[in-house]
Amino acid sequence: MLRDSKYDISFSEIEKNLKSRPFYSLFFNLVILSLFFIQALRAYVPGVYVAMFHVVFAENIIENLFILLTLIFFVVPALTNTICKKIGIKRVLISSIYIIAVSRLLMAFHLPNIWQTILSGIIIAVYGMFISTFITLWVKDGSTEIKMSNKVKMIGFSLLSAFLLDYLIRTIGFSQDISLLPPGLSAQFWYITQYLWLIIQIPLTGLCIYLTKLYFPRFTSVSDVEEYDKSDKKSTVYSLIFVGIGMFWFLLFNILLYPNTIAHYTGTSYYVSNILSIIALIATIWIVLRVKMQNLLNTKLSVILNSLMIISLCFFLFMGIALTYIAVILICVSLIIIFLNFFVLFSHLAIVIFKWEKVKTISNLFAIGTSFYILFTVFHILSTDWAYVISAFKGFGPIIVVLAGVILSVSVYISLRINQKGREK
């Protein structure tokens, strides 16, 4: 545990206030449910992609149209506030944990593709409900004296740990995802590896449900009346800064989370890019834990880092083969910056309030982010794999990726300016 307060975070303070079992229950569920969300997000888009391909070329149209209709699930997080008013915010929080855990367990049984995609969509939608109700309850919880910076950093640390865990799981399978598909297509290994992840998934699901039922923190009631003055609330126009979260998903789940893709763009060894990417993730977690929040929210530093990130993306996409390992190093440095951008934006989910109730603010912004992620992914597919279908998109794949990086940088800059103006007031 980090006990030195000079690092702007103290897990021991959280553990002391929550007590040991609720603390470890909360931390375990945050990491594991985020891992399930990451795995579902990676599985969902390929499922929709295949369905879209089959619909266009008239194969199993009814079944694949049904898969495409699961895009409606992205509206569900925006309904969280309405559902909370009907059945209560605490019930929504606990129910969402159970739904995510059970859905992920069902996915591990390697059901037909249509059900894999549907379950992935359910996990993505319900995770938006989970994170919005959890943040709302924990931020407003008055039963403890935990500092806001500790709460925010613990959430950020948990999410980044989930990304690292996901990356390590895929590394075991050498980029073949053993959590979703068997690692290898050889028939002789099929029966051995088919349910490998299921052996892991059963205890994970059981622990999620067990810890939630017995030890997950029972937060104090939250008043329906906001604790913020009207002067503290931001215009809903500013909520578009969370389009940047969608760009974060897009950059990671289309290119940067896959060492084989990085190796393809740079003509380098998969193993080198894989090791450097893991180091980049570990470095990001170290920075989040060790650097004070006020330094992470420094506008000038952010502008410098994001400029470096965009330049590195350009080198990687347009000159990767020529620069080889230099491009790999640059993109891994950019990976650190992208994760820090995500941490800044996600931190603002907890501390910025728009002209909505708190739970609606977070759930709406989550829906905005994931929707733009899907939108940019479709644009990217049309400019790469499907460039022959709509020729106007041909060759725009790298430009779309750079544009996503620019939007992410602008979102973070505006977010930091909002924070700066708030501190000046």
Cβ atoms of 66 and 117 within 8 Å: the answer is no
Strand residue runs (E) in 222-324: none
* Residue 234: φ, ψ to 5°: -95, 155
Cβ atoms of 97 and 130 within 8 Å: the answer is yes
Query: What is the rounded CA–CA span in Å between residue 349 and residue 128?
Result: 12
Residue 216 DSSP symbol: S
pLDDT-based confidence at 420, cuts 50/70/90? confident
pLDDT at site 161: 94
Partners of 354 in the beta sheet?
Answer: 234
Average pLDDT over residues 43-64: 72
Residue 294's Cβ-count burial label (10 Å; 0-12, 13-18, 19+) is exposed
Residue 228 corresponds to which tokens in the numbers above?
């913020």
pLDDT at site 294: 80
CB within 8 Å of 53: residues ≥ 6 apart: none
User: Which is more confident, 185 or 282?
Assistant: 282
pLDDT above 80: residue 179: no
pLDDT above 80: residue 225: no
pLDDT-based confidence at 418, cuts 50/70/90? confident
3-state secondary structure of 111: coil
* pLDDT tens, residue by residue, 297-338: 889 999 999 999 999 999 999 999 999 999 999 999 999 999
Query: What is the rounded CA–CA span in Å between residue 118 and residue 104?
Result: 11
pLDDT above 50: residue 183: no
CB within 8 Å of 168: residues ≥ 6 apart: 278
Query: What is the rounded CA–CA span in Å between residue 304 and residue 138?
Result: 33
* pLDDT tens, residue by residue, 241-271: 788 999 999 999 888 988 888 988 999 988 8
pLDDT-based confidence at 227, cuts 50/70/90? very low
Residues 157/227/345/244 CA torsion (nearest 10 deg): 140
* pLDDT tens, residue by residue, 329-371: 999 999 999 999 999 888 876 666 666 567 777 787 788 888 8
pLDDT at site 313: 95
CATH number of 8-221: 1.20.1250
User: Which is more confident, 76 or 227?
Assistant: 76
CB within 8 Å of 200: residues ≥ 6 apart: 179
Position of tokens 């559902």? 83
User: Which is more confident, 36 or 232?
Assistant: 36
pLDDT-based confidence at 290, cuts 50/70/90? confident
pLDDT above 50: residue 170: yes
- Cα angle vertex 182, ends 176, 188, to 5°? 115
Residue 170 corresponds to which tokens in the numbers above?
């895929």
Partners of 234 in the beta sheet?
Answer: 354
pLDDT at site 204: 94
